[in-house]
Structure 1
Amino acid sequence: MKKRILGFWEIWNMSFGFLGIQFGFALQGGFMSRIFQTLGASKDEIPMLWIAAPLTGLLVQPIIGYMSDRTWSPKWGRRKPYFLIGAILSTMALFFMPYSPALWVAAGFLWVLDASINISMEPFRALVADKLVESQRTYGFVVQTLIIGIGTWIASNLPWLVSEMGVSDSAALGVVPNSVKIAFAIGAFVFLASILYTVFTTSEYPPEDMEEFEREKKKKNSFVSDIVNNVGNMPLTMKKLGVIQFFSWFAFFTMWSLANPALTEHVFNTPAPVESAFDMADSIQKAAFDTANTAFQKSSNLVGSAMGVYGLSSMAFALLLVLYTAKRNINRKYVHMFSLFLGGLGFILMNYVSPEQLKYCFILIGFAWGSILSMPYAMLSSSVDPKKMGMFMGIFNMFIVIPQIIAALGGINFVSNLIGEEAINAMTIAGISLLIAGLCNLLITNKAAISYQSTE
């Protein structure tokens, strides 16, 4: 079946579910470390508590990609069943996460949440390649990035907005404030609603050759051996993109896991109070702890709100690209390179800014984020077998999760401690990592990946 050129609103509808996915990711990335700190985690313990997220992605995305490539239902399509399953599980995990009574419970909920988001996310990447002709793929991934930017900005501001509406930021020792609980509940609702919107407004193309598709399904090849074979035979351009992804995602995992302790301490001067430093049996000491904890929770709201700005600037970046790529080609390699340079500068400048200036750092980071969510996937989709798009998109996720695993297992702490013990050094390392990622774009030489030239 020949694919037709899709209009903006058709592409918008098929990508709208990413609004909910990004609500989940933004709440997880902006406030999970805050929950860990509230439950008593130290700065050095936080990256390890995040280990569940990348480990889950490493296992789930290739499997879901493989399964969705081999799925077809005349009613539900190929990718949509996975959207829906992931959305239901993510909704439950988001709602119950802030009610965690202990660190190990919160870490367990993070595991469930990240697995569920991954079940929904990977098929969305493949759907763009499934539905769009080659000349529209950059456009499609950029529209997806536009929606992601909207979701990041709104979700990151939810605890602050809820607090401004009068919900308390204060809470007892080891209890997450109501402002965060309500924000996560809103996120859970949006996640499910946006996925349902895409499911009911978007149709999918059936396999081009149904008989061949059925024969492939009946083959008794192990999906493990299939994945291993495709890992061994991945295109050279995909490997080069993997190097760029490694340094890009090391930087952003560092931000998600350590921005809250780094910025509340260095920029706002309100670090999370350590219970052992206060005599909780003494009323004066307990009052001092409560005052310090409330100050930390309020500055955490402001850190989350500032982080939301990177979603806003990535949205603006994506909107400009949508308008441009609707009619013209771009040099994906150089767009990605200079966007990553801007993000690296944003991280490094965090050492020198005031609370009021922090948003400008995240504006720069947003350009990098907007590019990370679109350019590598546009370049990849021009370099792999369309029949294995889901699997290759899942395998490509290895280059996202492996740097996060390395970072969580001590990589961030080791490298940042080479500079000093202050938490803000982690943001400097994130900046350097993005600068390296930008330079690695010079490895990309495949002309089709750099700028698709339409022959229509």
Structure 2
Amino acid sequence: MEKRKLSFWQIWNMSFGFLGIQMGFALQNANVSRIFQTLGAEVEDIPILWVAAPLTGLIVQPIIGYFSDRTWHPKLGRRRPYFLVGAILASLALFIMPNSSVLWFAAGMLWIMDASINVSMEPFRAFVGDNLPDSQRTKGFAMQSFFIGIGAYVASKLPLVLTYFGVANTAAEGVIPDSVKYSFYIGGAAFFIAVLWTVLRSKEYSPEEMKVFEEAEESSYEEIEKPESWFISNGKSHLIKGVITLLIGLLSTYVINYYALKKDLYVLTLGLISLGGIILIISGYLQKNKNYRNGFVTIVNDFQFMPKVMKQLAWVQFFSWFSLFSMWIYTTSAVTEHIYKTTDTTSEAFNTGANQVGEMFANYNIIAAAVAFLLPLLAKKTSRKFTHFLALVLGGFGLMSLYFISEPTTFTIEWLPMIGVGIAWASILSVPYAMLSGSLPASKMGYYMGVFNFFIVIPQLVAASILGFLVSTFFDNQPIYALLIGGISMILAGIISLTVDDKTSNETN
């Protein structure tokens, strides 16, 4: 028994929800730094305010993946209940966010909004792995990339379009402009409608069918039933590693405090290292005391035994998303300061530059949508890993080119750098997932897709913790250097992608 090949329109329907999801993400990425600065945040403090977004994904996605693997609703299936609940919550958050009046409230709403978006988004990746045979998965993820590109393009353009039709693009100090507010309202409505379309127009295989498919498919992942003695031994190992990791985190925190280094670094020492140590200690204690039949231990142990391809892709994802996060949080300040020579958020020059960043983000997304279906063709002629390598190198050079722009013409700033970034973005959203899905067991598809998000979130947390320190310490608070670092990181990701042990399937129509 094999999964049936789906038609173009069936793949279209199952991916359509990503149009709304990405509209939400794009509004967040293009406007939250602007909102923070409007409400009084200093440029060097913006990365720490962004921590809420990746940290939320780190927590939410594997949990949602774990439970969606174990969910079955007679009408809504396995993944679609999570699509729907996340869409309702995210739409409400998008309506509330631009009405923030103080900085702490905006930071809190970013946390809630990102958690809600993640509830909808995480199962969409597993949805492709569930419903499509391996020979169509690159097409399935490419379709998601297409909708991501279109959704992000429209959302990024919304403030400019509304400004063109007379909606105010400036406001008094500390007040978010109406062009941003109404953009979020439109995005909230689009989010819900697009996800609802996928919920109503798609079907899922039953648990019984999925079990048959898993038995028939070849996978590099093999799970062996482990005896109690193994869990006790593994628990002792987790305890030792956890204590060592926690001590490293606490010692690093002390050093930061002693030398009065940037507080952003606490995200790395307390938020990642120390928290990781605590998780290992809890897992070790539970296993050592024979309490290992629970979701927490299962999640930690499955992370320990990731498939080989997933471990290789982890490094590719790390450097790719480190680069992207540097772009999202620093492009507005880099363009307004390096090219427009202003930091005054009430000035016409600043808001012109901020709008131009919206154009840049819109353009790289429309380019991603345009090339999304070319990537499977290139992968068929070469390989998926070479396709990803080429796309990431082009993206890295595109990001670095912003440093050399002195005259902000429409072509030199809004299009030329974004061509490479758009190609890289299309590949980042599709090719790694296509390579990964063939190595995952169907029964853990949602969970491992959620864990794969760790390698999106961790680099964002690292970026949030060290970029502010690097920019202020070594680059005289000039944010353009964060984009140079991001470009180098993306090129490195491309080089590493060539080492992935990918078993490419021939793509079919």
Instruction: Output the TM-score relative to the length of structure 2.
Output: 0.81
The answer for the alignment partner of 2:417 in structure 1 is: 361
What CA distance in whole angstroms lies between the structure 1 residues aligned with 2:34 and 2:508? 51
2:114 aligned with 1:42, yes or no? no
What CA distance in whole angstroms lies between the structure 2 residues aligned with 1:270 and 1:362? 23
Q: Over the residues paired in the alignment, what is the CA RMSD in angstroms?
A: 2.1
2:172 aligned with 1:175, yes or no? no
What CA distance in whole angstroms lies between the structure 2 residues aligned with 1:416 and 1:429? 14
2:334 aligned with 1:262, yes or no? yes
In structure 2, do the counterparts of structure 1 residues 44 and 363 end up closer, same or farther at CA, with 3 Å as the change threshold? same
What CA distance in whole angstroms lies between the structure 2 residues aligned with 1:378 and 1:423? 34
The answer for the alignment partner of 1:280 in structure 2 is: none
One-letter amino acid matched to 1:92: L
The answer for the alignment partner of 1:343 in structure 2 is: 395
2:426 aligned with 1:370, yes or no? yes
Q: 2:360 aligns with which of 266, 288, 306?
A: 306
Percent of pairs identical after alignment?
Answer: 51
What CA distance in whole angstroms lies between the structure 2 residues aligned with 1:397 and 1:211? 25
The answer for the alignment partner of 2:226 in structure 1 is: none
Q: 1:62-82 deviations in whole A, cap 9, x for unaligned?
A: 000000000001201000000
3-state secondary structure, aligned to 2:417: helix
What CA distance in whole angstroms lies between the structure 1 residues aligned with 2:318 and 2:56? 17
The answer for the alignment partner of 1:75 in structure 2 is: 75
The answer for the alignment partner of 2:249 in structure 1 is: none
Give the superposition deviation at 1:15. Answer: 0.3
Task: Answer whether contact 1:329 1:452 (CA < 8 A) is retained.
Answer: no
What CA distance in whole angstroms lies between the structure 1 residues aligned with 2:359 and 2:164? 12
Task: Answer whether contact 2:156 2:362 (CA < 8 A) is retained.
Answer: yes
Task: Answer whether contact 2:44 2:472 (CA < 8 A) is retained.
Answer: no
In structure 2, do the counterparts of structure 1 residues 426 and 220 end up closer, same or farther at CA, with 3 Å as the change threshold? closer
Give the superposition deviation at 1:136. Answer: 0.4
* TM alignment of 1:167-206, pairs within 5 A: 167-206=167-206
Task: Answer whether contact 1:254 1:412 (CA < 8 A) is retained.
Answer: no
2:505 aligned with 1:452, yes or no? yes
Unaligned runs of 5+ in 1: 214-218, 274-289
The answer for the alignment partner of 2:87 in structure 1 is: 87
Give the superposition deviation at 1:2. Answer: 3.6
Task: Answer whether contact 1:329 1:453 (CA < 8 A) is retained.
Answer: no
One-letter amino acid matched to 2:450: G
The answer for the alignment partner of 2:299 in structure 1 is: 227
One-letter amino acid matched to 1:272: D
What CA distance in whole angstroms lies between the structure 2 residues aligned with 1:415 and 1:103? 22
Task: Answer whether contact 2:211 2:442 (CA < 8 A) is retained.
Answer: no
In structure 2, do the counterparts of structure 1 residues 343 and 413 end up closer, same or farther at CA, with 3 Å as the change threshold? farther
The answer for the alignment partner of 2:314 in structure 1 is: 242
The answer for the alignment partner of 1:59 in structure 2 is: 59
Give the superposition deviation at 1:209. Answer: 5.8
2:499 aligned with 1:443, yes or no? yes
Count of residues paired in the alignment: 428
What CA distance in whole angstroms lies between the structure 1 residues aligned with 2:316 and 2:378? 24
Give the superposition deviation at 1:258. Answer: 1.2
Give the superposition deviation at 1:84. Answer: 0.6
3-state secondary structure, aligned to 2:404: coil
Give the superposition deviation at 1:422. Answer: 1.2
3-state secondary structure, aligned to 1:262: helix
Give the superposition deviation at 1:324. Answer: 6.5
Q: 1:166-223 deviations in whole A, cap 9, x for unaligned?
A: 111121110000010011111001000000010110011111369999xxxxx99311
In structure 2, do the counterparts of structure 1 residues 384 and 261 end up closer, same or farther at CA, with 3 Å as the change threshold? same
Instruction: Output the TM-score relative to the length of structure 1.
Output: 0.90
What CA distance in whole angstroms lies between the structure 2 residues aligned with 1:455 and 1:301? 41
3-state secondary structure, aligned to 1:350: helix
Unaligned runs of 5+ in 2: 215-290
In structure 2, do the counterparts of structure 1 residues 258 and 210 end up closer, same or farther at CA, with 3 Å as the change threshold? closer
3-state secondary structure, aligned to 1:3: coil
Give the superposition deviation at 1:443. Answer: 2.0
The answer for the alignment partner of 1:276 in structure 2 is: none
